[in-house]
Amino acid sequence: MQYDDDVSQPNQLPPDAVLFQALTGFMVSRSLSAVAELCVADALRDRPLTGSELAHAVGANERFLRRVMRLLVSVGIFAEPTPGTYALTPVAELLRSDHPNSLRDLAAMLTSESHWRAWGELTEAVRTGSSGSCLAFGTDAFTWFQRRENKAQWDLFNAAMTSYSAATSMAVVQSYDFSRFRHIIDIGGGRGFFLRTVLSKATQASGTLFDLPGVFEGGGIDTLGGRIACVGGDFFTSVPEGGDCYVLKHIVHDWDDERCHTFLGNIARIMDPAGTVIVVDMVMPDGPEPALAKVADINMLAFTEGGCERTEREFAALFESAGLQLKAIHTTPIVSVVEAVKRREDAGGQRAR
């Protein structure tokens, strides 16, 4: 096949350059993780620093750090206001550990052992249909996380999920009104960042944070003055009763249809007939257009046992199998709020934008 090499159009690259950029994308990702782990953005919080000052502040080799910073400046993450001096940009501000929407922990986690080794098995995962985690660790990721020797990785994963929540939670509460609910139960809610964000808007509601007991070890969870109860358990076995809203944020995409059917069915069986289920996940578009959901979907392929990002039709079928019914989908710039109710034969779904 012969390609037209005309590159006269602005920003148009020849095919080999496009492919090379795609192939080397992981090098940028790993560099971002490295500077996140070194807390480079924290060191630059108050003022720009020279390469020497920055290396001293974060305890790094100056020459090597300069080379990594040169790459990250070139792709627009950091700035270089004068040669050899580095500064934050609005993008790099998000790598500060004290930023209200910090993504530092997420940046550190995405190329940490738990993901790096699983992604390393992607070819075999595609060949065999087994997850990268099982191929790398001999078990699923969440079982691997619970081993004593992997506690640091489990802590980093939970911190990363809180970090990600900071980026998405406000968008969710701005696009969906939770104020009509009296008791909101967050299934698999981690350490409660998302539930606290929801309750900050639904000021008359109480909440229950439900997750594996190990998530709550060590305490330190802000319960909003007692408005949140922390309950340990396994949602494949049962879920707490008494909620008129059950929220699953980035939970459904972790599991295959069969296992989603189990925990969604557990919710449907004990939920009040007028209750609501809210799934916060990406919705996969049907067309060929670029979408973050398509990247996230391959992360699910590598990291989870059958997890995936789903289309609207796939969500509808999944809910139907569990005794629920898709009611509406509310979109935000990153994720969608997928709303379901108990299945009613005379009700139809609708899509909200």
End-to-end alpha carbon distance in the chain:
42
**If you write DSSP's letter for every residue of 179-228 in order, what string do you get?**
TT-SEEEEET-TTSHHHHHHHHHSTT-EEEEEE-GGGGTT-----TTTTE
- Distance separating alpha carbons of residues 221 and 223, to the nearest angstrom: 6
**Which of 99, 250, 253, 261 is the catalytic position?**
253
Q: Is 115 a catalytic residue?
A: no
Contact criterion met (CB below 8 Å) for 186 and 207: yes
Cβ burial of 115 (10 Å; 0-12, 13-18, 19+) is buried
Which residues are registered as beta bridge partners of 245? 184, 276
Joined together, the tokens standing for residue 223 give: 């319960």
- The three-class DSSP label of residue 104 is helix
Sign of CA dihedral 344, 350, 351, 352: negative
The three state secondary structure string of 113-151 is HHHHHHHCCHHHHHHHCCCHHHHHHCCCHHHHHCCHHHH
Which residues are registered as beta bridge partners of 187? 210
User: Which residues are known to be catalytic?
Assistant: 253
